[in-house]
Chain A
Amino acid sequence: ADPCYDEAGEPRCCVPGLVNAALGREVLASSTCGSPANRVCDSSDPQRAHSADLLTSAPGTASPLCWRSDLLQRAPFNITLTVPLGKAFELVFVSLRFCSAPPTSAALLKSQDHGRSWVPLGFFSSSCGLDYGRPPAPADGPAGPGPEALCFPAPQAQPDGGGLLAFSVQDGSPQGLDLDNSPVLQDWVTATDIRIVLTRPAAQGDTRDGGVTAPYSYSAAELQVGGRCKCNGHASRCLLDTQGRLTCDCQHGTEGPDCSRCKPFYCDRPWQRATGQEAHACLACSCNGHARRCRFNMELYRLSGRRSGGVCLNCRHNTAGRHCHYCREGFYRDPGRTLSDRRACRACDCHPVGAAGKTCNQTTGQCPCKDGVTGLTCNRCAPGFQQSRSPVAPCVKTL
């Protein structure tokens, strides 16, 4: 069964499955240990390289298991982890498991334009006001009508020495918003890139060896970005295109990496995101098989009661009109052929002398005849008339 069409072949809303969008993606870390090599970390030795790609490799497939930052001798202790997802995803959650004590301050950001600009999704801190100038997140979500980046408690250190930073898109979103019908929620969950900024190690402020600030580092594994490939309800899966880029397998007459526009000939109504109630498929223009291109006209769409706004371009086979549904001047409909037949329109073929013009009746094919002339193409004298020698009055009354 095709998830994008029902048993009757009618389009229906379809979405790709929930995946870890970060799995296998390259992670850009602002700091990674091992250059230069030290006792525990050597970037040139696969057995001792704690590279950032360990954050997104399949669980249990890599050794060592954890990424480690370089040793941080003094403030600022900011380390940035950036994961380009390759295309837009609709986020559900983000999590990062720490292999050592989790930071006491971190920020989670997203980009919707492949890293050109960033907006925060949430903050995590033991001192929200001091670190981010924000109050701790209210228990019942944001106070405003839309989603917003709230400041949550910093991840708790676990008995094994690690910790988990976890964020759900619902955490920053008011209750009751519905993804189908809330453009602000759709915007909130959409991301092409995820960035985690670790800003304060757990032990910062401790001193050892007579007041000298100890060097600190971050160590983490399993960066997960749970989400669905964003296809706006018009695809059930994403595939790699010929250039190796992740892209939606668009259905419903849509195209683009996110199925966010109608295919060129499918512009009989404006593009819309599919919802659970309505697939909002892009409809092909009705051109009776005589045109390959069409354009959308909003005025016609409104006048039609929001049903059809497509206008066929370059009607072929001697047809004309918004839907290539009548014959162009100098041609008439052959009643023996269907409108979609390539030869549905026949040339008028009006007689150069007997006809008063070259344009015939588009329905009957009758040419306009001069006085005393008859026939569909005006090629004979009417009864009671005979041919003259004058091309101006080719038929005269019989004496």
Chain B
Amino acid sequence: EVMPTLDMALFDWTDYEDLKPEV
């Protein structure tokens, strides 16, 4: 089974703003 790649748009960065990668 090949899983889809992680979708960055689904992550909630509210509590992790400092971890958010620059796009």
| A→B interface (CB under 8 Å) | 351-354, 373-375, 379-383, 385, 387, 389-392, 394-395
Contacts and interface: CB of A to CB of B under 8 A. Distances in A.
B4 A380 contact: yes
Contacts of B16: 390-392
A354 B10 contact: no
A391 B3 contact: no
A94 to B, nearest CB: 78
A356 to B, nearest CB: 12
Contacts, number: 44
B12 A353 contact: no
A380 B8 contact: no
Contacts of B11: 353, 389-391, 394
Contacts of B21: 352-353
A222 to B, nearest CB: 83
17 contacts: A353-B6, A353-B8, A375-B5, A380-B6, A381-B3, A381-B6, A382-B3, A389-B10, A389-B11, A389-B12, A390-B11, A390-B12, A391-B12, A391-B19, A392-B16, A392-B19, A395-B6
B9 to A, nearest CB: 10
Given A352-B21, A353-B21, A391 B5 contact: no
- Residue among B4, B5, B7 with the highest chain A CB neighbour number at 10 A: B5
A319 B2 CA distance: 33
Contacts of B7: 387
A385 B12 CA distance: 18
B1 A383 contact: yes
A380 B1 CA distance: 11
Contacts of B20: 391
Given A379-B5, A380-B3, A380-B4, A387 B12 contact: no
A79 to B, nearest CB: 85
Given A379-B6, A380-B4, 17 more contacts: A352-B21, A353-B6, A353-B8, A374-B3, A380-B3, A380-B5, A385-B3, A387-B7, A390-B11, A390-B16, A391-B11, A391-B12, A391-B13, A391-B16, A391-B20, A392-B19, A394-B11
Contacts of B19: 391-392
Nearest to B12: A389
B6 to A, nearest CB: 5
A395 B5 CA distance: 11
B4 to A, nearest CB: 7
